[in-house]
A and B are shown apart, each in its own frame.
Chain A
Amino acid sequence: MSFVEIQDVHKSFYGKEILKGINLTIEKGEVIVILGPSGSGKTTFLRCLNTLEKADCGQITIDHVTKDFAVHDPKNTRDLILKTAMVFQGHALFPNMTVLQNVIEGLVRVKKMPRDAAMKLGLLTLSEVGLADRVSYYPAQLSGGQQQRAGIARAMAMQPELLLFDEPTSALDPELVGEVLAAMKKLAQAGHTMIVVTHEMQFAYEVADRVLYMEGGVVVESGTPAALFNQPQDIRTQKFLARLSGQDFSESAVVTL
């Protein structure tokens, strides 16, 4: 049995089906990158995995914790939440706490870790993302890249089995993207299991073990980065990649006044 098994996730909003049955199995230490146009359901899929969005049906198993999304069971839901951690688009740090307080909040309140042990782990995690000298700053006093790295540290400190990244760089200024991607690459190389929704093709190419292309609520195609980028099989994948690389403008609408 695989480390993470996701079966048949369905989700509708207001009668419109956004996810039409997603299946995914992930091995321990694998890095999955999900690509797709906006509205393809990739963010919704990610949010369903840690129950930020309640999926209509489907099931997930992470490291022997199984959660059936259709069943209401708060204890089970909590077990699942603690197996995952999420990094959001736009940092989502708590502005009323310092960086260190942000990182240890979950450890102290949720995992009931003693404060000094939590501080130790928090400081260690923050130094891993290069923020050792910013621990007592408030989020508003940091740059966008630093905020996002602190967000990664907060997720990491919870020691999850599965890390979820929801477009972690798309709200950043271009010159700040690199430092965040570097921090994520370091996590991938350290053997963490990750699902990353992103538009950073270079990152996908270098770091992903497998790339999924989603469109219209289904996984259209998946494969190694080399296979998917160089020989996309499905016409939709081909068109998407062509639009991104600018090779084919036949699909894009011409602006007329």
Chain B
Amino acid sequence: MTFDFGFILQVVLKIIPYVPVTLYMAVVSLIIGGALGLLVALARFYQVPGLSQVMTVMITVLKGVPLVLVFLVIFLITSQNFNNVAKMLGLHLQYGDLPMSLLAIIGLSLMAMVGLSEAFRGAFESVKLVQFDAARSLGMTTGQTIRRVLVPQAFPVAFPMIVNMLINLIKGTAIASLVSVVEIFSAATQAASSNYKYFEAYIAAAIIYWAMTILIERGAHWVELQLAKKMERAIS
């Protein structure tokens, strides 16, 4: 088998324009999943009656299956029912009109929610109990305690896991190629379809993923240093 370095470079240049699509799906999923994960973690941390148990069951169900399965189930449910539901709601929308990246975002958001809710819950546990006593003795409400004490103190602890989740989401976006979203992975595959140099194409895709991961890790490291500067002894 001959190895075509030139073709790797060609494919790299060809798939760079799809980096924004991949980043868009990953970042939006991180934000949605992060927000949902925060709510789940809070419900479980404060042991909200009923809600806490429902969340625990939901997380267990989602955590126990591969992402691709979640993704395909979402695809099957939405593709069969969307048109009927849209008609019932009086929307002039067809399933085909929806951007397929939306499906990927739903699936990846669920994955992010599961992972981040656990990360946040662990980070919440790291906040010392006396902090809640102090907030209460000042007369702060539960909402104020969450916003001003719990989340700001838990965030630096959860931050490395949030970054890790972003990297996992970027790699997870490759799954969107299953429903014909053109992102890094499917662009690389398409590039090789004419000359069957799949090996080179996959290497090219890997190079892009590596570059993105390295850049994110560098950036995260810098942010971590900034976060640690003022509270270094408090969070160690």
Contact = CB atoms under 8 A, between A and B. Distances in A.
Interface of A: 47, 50-52, 78, 81-82, 84-86, 88, 90, 92-96, 105-106, 109-111, 138-141, 154-155, 158
A24 B153 CA distance: 38
B81 interface: no
> By CB atoms of chain B within 10 A, which of A51, A82, A110, A158 has the most?
A110
Interface string B123-166: 00000101101111111100010001100110000000000000
B133 A88 contact: yes
B140 A96 contact: no
A52, A109, A138, most chain B CB atoms within 10 A: A109
Interface stretch (B85-93, B100-108, B227-235): B227-235
A136 to B, nearest CB: 11
Nearest to A138: B230
B138 A154 contact: yes
Interface SS majority for chain B: helix
Contacts of A82: 139
15 contacts: A51-B136, A52-B133, A81-B137, A84-B137, A90-B130, A92-B130, A94-B131, A94-B134, A94-B153, A95-B234, A96-B153, A105-B138, A109-B144, A110-B139, A139-B234
A96 B133 contact: no
Given A88-B130, A88-B134, A92-B134, A110 B230 contact: no
Interface in B218-236: 230-235
B169 to A, nearest CB: 27
Of B128, B139, B153, B230, most A-chain CB atoms within 10 Å: B139
A173 to B, nearest CB: 15
Contact of B231 (A109, A138, A155): A138
Contact of B153 (A50, A88, A95, A158): A95
B154 to A, nearest CB: 10
A90 B134 CA distance: 11
B234 A158 contact: no
Given A52-B137, A88-B130, A90-B130, 14 more contacts: A47-B133, A52-B136, A78-B139, A84-B137, A88-B134, A92-B131, A92-B133, A94-B134, A94-B148, A94-B153, A95-B235, A96-B153, A106-B138, A158-B138
A82 B231 CA distance: 29
A172 to B, nearest CB: 15
Contacts of A141: 230
Task: Report the contact-size class of chain B (Cβ under 8 Å from the partner).
Answer: 20 to 34
A86 B153 CA distance: 21
Contacts of B231: 95-96, 138, 140
A86 B230 contact: no
B230 to A, nearest CB: 5
B137 A50 contact: yes
Nearest to A82: B139
A140 B138 CA distance: 21
B11 to A, nearest CB: 46
A85 B153 contact: no
A92 B135 CA distance: 9
B134 A140 contact: no
Contacts of A111: 139
Most chain-B CB neighbours within 10 Å: which of A95, A111, A141? Answer: A95
Contacts of B133: 47, 52, 86, 88, 92
Contacts of A154: 138
Contacts of B131: 92, 94
Nearest to A89: B130
Interface string B208-221: 00000000000000
Given A105-B148, A140-B232, A85 B140 contact: no
Nearest to B231: A95
Contacts of A96: 149, 152-153, 231, 234
A30 to B, nearest CB: 21
Contacts of A86: 133-134, 137
A94 B149 contact: yes
Contacts of A139: 234
Nearest to A158: B138
Nearest to A157: B138
Interface string B67-110: 00000000000000000000000000000000000000000000
A164 to B, nearest CB: 8
Interface in B36-52: none
A253 B27 CA distance: 64
